[in-house]
Amino acid sequence: MLILFGSYARGNWVEDLDPETLLYRYQSDFDLLVITETPRQASKIEQNSQLAQKLAKTTHRTPISLIAEDIQFVNRRLRKSQYFYIDILREGILLHDSGKFELEEPKEITSGERRKLAEEDFDQWFQGANDFIKTYEFHYSEEMYNLAAFDLHQATEKLYGTILLVFTRYKPSTHDLEKLGQRVGSIEPKFLSVFPKATEEEKECFKLLRKAYVDARYKPSYSISKNQLEWLACRVNQLKELTEKLCKEKIESFS
């Protein structure tokens, strides 16, 4: 099966073209879920880094976010009431169906149950983000810039985790901010504006943030400047404010 989901399926996709560079500061992805018969098939698709690039060329270079899962995995998530997959089932557009297997009916939970779970996830993950922001401030004040970059990475990951769990009850097991950001952007396009990538400087800053999880701690070659850190910290604090606002609104909607 091939399913289009996210903002292009819902009709609320966004894009912002920088008038000076004629490059997109941010834009929604085409979010595609490929459902395969076996985990091995799904893994093969996920590891094909050139596939998304080839697909993007057929969509006037709109970026492609490609997820591949096997049918057993998806149906387990539907039975566990994980709304990332339930929303795909409800809102997604089926582009291709081989007819070899079927998606199960999702197990529904009450709004009260969903609100309780969302509140618990918000409290845990949002507080974790706050803790890393405080640690960042200490490391920054001591001019320990590499550790400060790691703190910002962890704060960002925690905020992305907050959003994913509150909105969908599912967070993939990855530390890659690019992949987590794509998931978050498919849920709510407003988050796409947090890390613009229209200029080389913006791209480099996000690249340093993305690599900070490993490189900032273990690679002597990793280096980030004070100005780059300050720019990233500003963006992370913006993400924090937007996360708190939109997650609380989502929780209130579970009534």
Q: For 22-52, what is each residue's pLDDT tens digit?
A: 566 667 788 899 999 999 999 998 887 677 6
* Higher per-residue confidence, 97 vs 109: 97
pLDDT for the residue 181: 93
* Higher per-residue confidence, 142 vs 7: 142
Question: Assign residue 143 a region: left if phi > 0, alpha if psi is -120 to 50, beta otherwise?
Answer: left
Res 94 pLDDT > 60: yes
CA-to-CA distance for 203 and 178, rounded, in angstroms? Answer: 12
Q: What is the model's pTM?
A: 0.83
pLDDT for the residue 46: 81
Mean pLDDT of 225-248: 98
Mean pLDDT of 81-94: 90
Percentage of the chain surpassing pLDDT 90? 66
pLDDT for the residue 252: 96
Question: What 8-state DSSP symbol labels residue 193?
Answer: G
Angle between helix 83-91 and 71-79 (nearest 10): 110
* Higher per-residue confidence, 10 vs 39: 39
Tell me if the domain spanning 111-253 has CATH number 3.40.50.720: no
Q: Which residues have a Cβ under 8 Å from the Cβ of 115 and sit 6 or more positions away?
A: 251, 254, 255
pLDDT for the residue 158: 98
How far is the CA of 139 from the CAs of 64, 165, 182, 229, in angstroms? 36, 29, 29, 11
CA-to-CA distance for 110 and 132, rounded, in angstroms? Answer: 33
Query: Where does the chain hold its CATH 1.20.120.330 domain(s)?
Result: 111-253
H or E segment and range at residue 75: helix 71-79
Res 173 pLDDT > 90: no
- The winner for highest mean pLDDT among 44-58, 107-121, 163-177, 212-226 is 212-226
pLDDT for the residue 58: 67
SS (H, E, C) 94-150: EEECCCCCCCCCCCCCCHHHHHHHHHHHHHHHHHHHHHHHHHHHHHHHCCCHHHHHH
Mean pLDDT of 219-248: 97
